[in-house]
Amino acid sequence: MWGAFFGDIVGSRFEWANYRKKDFELFDEDSTFTDDSVMTVAVAKSLAECGEKDDQALREAVIRNMRQLGRKYWDAGYGGMFALWLESDDPIPYYSFGNGAAMRISPVGDYARSEEEVKRLSRIVTEVTHDHPEGLKGAECVAMCIFLAKQGASKEQIFERVRRDYYPQIGSLTCAELSKTYLFDETCQGSVPQALACFFEGTDFEDTIRNAISIGGDSDTIAAIAGGIAEAFFGMEKKFIETVRLFLSNDLQREVGMIEKKIYRKA
């Protein structure tokens, strides 16, 4: 999940001012965490609290933690429908296929111990809001990529899984072409394959993040998705994690510290 935080913070200042090149400073005074990071913490906290419990307990924890953290960080940049969900007295799924499903899913890939668990946990934490098939697919795909990377799968193996089970068009996407033609798209189907292309072309963690910014679009979310997978595959330098800590609030830092003690379980 640190890779998702990193990508979110780096991409935050480019979301509405796309920079379609790779030669930029990773952080500056305008860099900040957004809803991508807040909701990633909410999912991770829910897994730490209830991942070993039954499906309903986890579902209730996700709703509770998303709403508590979402309301605490109300200015983090939520989409309109999700903001209404946060405010509602009776929060129910709203058939969304927005990329919010995929931006927050990285803790599932870190936590799961089998492909079956990836699928089950991904569905539970996603369907509380994003119960459209495309939303569910986008989230599961990202979580599965992270799980496979942590299991030692090669890029070729991960690519084939994506092409076979999720996005057959992945082979036609290149960062060079996307940087010329890609437009802002907040859907899973219009941003998850693009984020994956940034990972598949990335030579290391940092290069993946730079790819994600260079294609434009919903930069913080594209980079958060790509960053979560890149962390699992390439690893992440300690200096990058320490830099991320500087941008998180003290409260979020405490939450993450408690989460980490529980979420990285032994198989």
The whole-angstrom separation of Cα 190 and Cα 96 is 13
pLDDT in tens, 210-257: 999 999 999 999 999 999 999 999 999 999 999 999 999 999 999 999
Per-residue pLDDT, 261: 77
| CATH number 1.10.4080.10 given to 2-14+35-263 | yes
The whole-angstrom separation of Cα 19 and Cα 124 is 35
> Is this structure's pTM higher than 0.85?
yes
Dihedral over alpha carbons 198, 110, 106, 147 (to 10 degrees): 50
pLDDT in tens, 194-216: 999 999 999 999 999 999 999 99
Contact partners, residue 78, CB within 8 Å, separation at least 6: 35, 70, 86
